[in-house]
């Protein structure tokens, strides 16, 4: 049973239901087409992470974006 975990930052209200459906379909199709995995047993989980819970280069993404966007 393939298990895919997609993690994205939650910004501007987060992903729409349509965007989530597209990610689930795309990941499932990719595993089927590339590895021959059965779509019926493919699990896809999407985690939306608050930017205060994610860091890069020793800095919270929230602060980094504030600095970069002035």
Q: Count Cα atoms within 13 angstroms, Cβ side, for 17.
A: 0
What is the sign of the dihedral through the CA atoms of 15, 25, 27 and 46?
A: positive
Catalytic amino acids?
A: 2
């Amino acid at each position: 049973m393939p298990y895919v975990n997609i993690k994205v930052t939650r910004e501007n209200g987060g992903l729409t239901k349509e965007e989530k459906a597209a990610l689930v379909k795309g990941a499932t199709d990719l595993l089927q087409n590339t590895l021959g995995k059965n779509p019926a047993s493919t699990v896809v989980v999407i985690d939306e992470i608050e930017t205060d819970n994610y860091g890069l280069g020793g800095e919270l993404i929230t602060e980094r974006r504030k600095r970069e966007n002035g």
